[in-house]
Amino acid sequence: MPREPLMARARELWEDLARAPVSFAQPYGVNVVVSPRSGLCPVGWVGVVALGGSAIVTAPNTSAAVIVRDALGRLPVEAVVDSAVIREALPVARVLGPAALSYVSAAGFRPAGTGALTVEQLPAFHLDVRSLERMAGHEDAGEADLEEITSPAFVVREHGQVVAAAGYRAWPRRTAHVGVLTAPQARGRGLAQVTGSAAVAHALAVGLLPQWRARPPVSRRVAAALGFEELGSQLSVEIA
């Protein structure tokens, strides 16, 4: 799939998640709307998504929307997903992100070779996957969010123990939100790429659009190796 159809599907997804009438139609602009139930951010926060030169922003109420519109409306699109700029422009309590948003088509996908590794499928709720999350720690496990996957978990074991796992959660607009997690002692050996590749292949086989959302540079490199294209960024802001 060429870049433009990927971009169109990504924009449709985030417009749906905004849960208010809003679009990326304004070129090189920032479109701010009120949406208390926005899926762009935690409840009560401001959510920002920039894709392809335009951005949509959701605010939890009218007063917050006025503040955000005044502060961000005069900024270039790339600046509204820059946490340093946001902290200067708005009265910020907390910021989550930015996270890169990447997508891949069946034509662009570059599957990872498994070599001597065996990739096993487990139920998403399997206790061995929960054990991996405990090994990885709260922050990394929260980033991967494997507790929320609706696909099988694709795992690699060493000495009987799951040391890497990946899966995806079904999102609106037939999107597969991919999560990948590797145990600290097993990192740097390509296991995230192998398990992530299995999850992406499964999603594409059932006609879903894989989405890879990542903050750490290492995760972004794994996505790029699998053929994902970075199309934009997401940021969440809690107003002080």
| pLDDT, tens digit, 9 for 90 and up, residues 125-168 | 999 999 999 999 999 999 899 999 999 999 999 999 999 999 99
CATH number, domain at 173? 3.40.630.30
Overall average pLDDT of the 70-89 stretch? 92
- Cα-to-chain-centroid distance, residue 217: 13
Cβ-in-10-Å burial (0-12, 13-18, 19+) of 74 comes to exposed
Q: At what angle do helices 217-225 and 191-205 cross, to 10 degrees?
A: 50
Half-sphere exposure of 172 (CA within 13 A, CB side): 12
Overall average pLDDT of the 82-108 stretch? 95
Q: 3-state DSSP call for residue 42?
A: coil
Q: How many helices (H) and strands (E) does the chain have?
A: 7, 10
For the cut 70, the answer to whether the pLDDT of residue 185 exceeds it is yes
Pairing of strands 209-214, 175-182: parallel
Overall average pLDDT of the 214-240 stretch? 95
- Compute the distance between CA of residue 164 and CA of residue 20 in angstroms, rounded to an integer: 38
Helix (H) or strand (E) holding 54: strand 54-59
Q: 145 and 82, same structural domain?
A: no
- Compute the distance between CA of residue 151 and CA of residue 154 in angstroms, rounded to an integer: 9
Q: 213 and 125, same structural domain?
A: yes
CB atoms under 10 Å from CB of 200, counted, come to 29
Q: 145 and 90, same structural domain?
A: no
**Does a structural domain hold residue 110?**
no
Q: 202 and 143, same structural domain?
A: yes
Task: Provide the token pair at 23.
Answer: 């679009």
For the cut 60, the answer to whether the pLDDT of residue 46 exceeds it is yes
For the cut 80, the answer to whether the pLDDT of residue 88 exceeds it is yes
**Does a structural domain hold residue 115?**
no
DSSP string, 138-191: HHHHHHHTGGG--SPEEEEEETTEEEEEEEEEEETTTEEEEEEEE-GGGTTSSH
**Does a structural domain hold residue 106?**
no
Radius of gyration over every alpha carbon of the chain, rounded to an integer in angstroms? 18
The amino acid sitting at 136 is A
Overall average pLDDT of the 23-29 stretch? 81
Q: 225 and 133, same structural domain?
A: yes
Q: Label residue 236 by pLDDT band (50, 70, 90).
A: very high
Cβ distance 119 to 198 under 8 Å? yes
Share of the chain above pLDDT 90, in %: 90
How high is the pLDDT of residue 133? 96
Q: 49 and 7, same structural domain?
A: yes
Half-sphere exposure of 157 (CA within 13 A, CB side): 10
How high is the pLDDT of residue 115? 86
Residues 6+ apart with CB under 8 A from 182: 136, 163, 164, 191, 192, 195
**Does a structural domain hold residue 103?**
no
How high is the pLDDT of residue 1? 53
- Compute the distance between CA of residue 215 and CA of residue 160 in angstroms, rounded to an integer: 30
Q: 80 and 171, same structural domain?
A: no
Q: 167 and 65, same structural domain?
A: no
Q: 136 and 70, same structural domain?
A: no
Lowest-confidence pick of 28-32, 90-94, 172-176, 199-203: 28-32
Tell me the residue range of the domain where 48 lies. Answer: 3-98+234-239
Q: 129 and 94, same structural domain?
A: no
**Does a structural domain hold residue 111?**
no
**Does a structural domain hold residue 202?**
yes
**Does a structural domain hold residue 107?**
no
**Does a structural domain hold residue 146?**
yes
- Compute the distance between CA of residue 181 and CA of residue 189 in angstroms, rounded to an integer: 13
Task: Provide the token pair at 212.
Answer: 């890879």
For the cut 90, the answer to whether the pLDDT of residue 26 exceeds it is no
pTM, full prediction? 0.94
CB atoms under 10 Å from CB of 72, counted, come to 22
Q: 127 and 81, same structural domain?
A: no
Structurally, the chain folds into a number of domains equal to 2
How high is the pLDDT of residue 18? 97
How high is the pLDDT of residue 216? 86
Q: Label residue 2 by pLDDT band (50, 70, 90).
A: low
Q: 125 and 55, same structural domain?
A: no
Q: Label residue 65 by pLDDT band (50, 70, 90).
A: very high
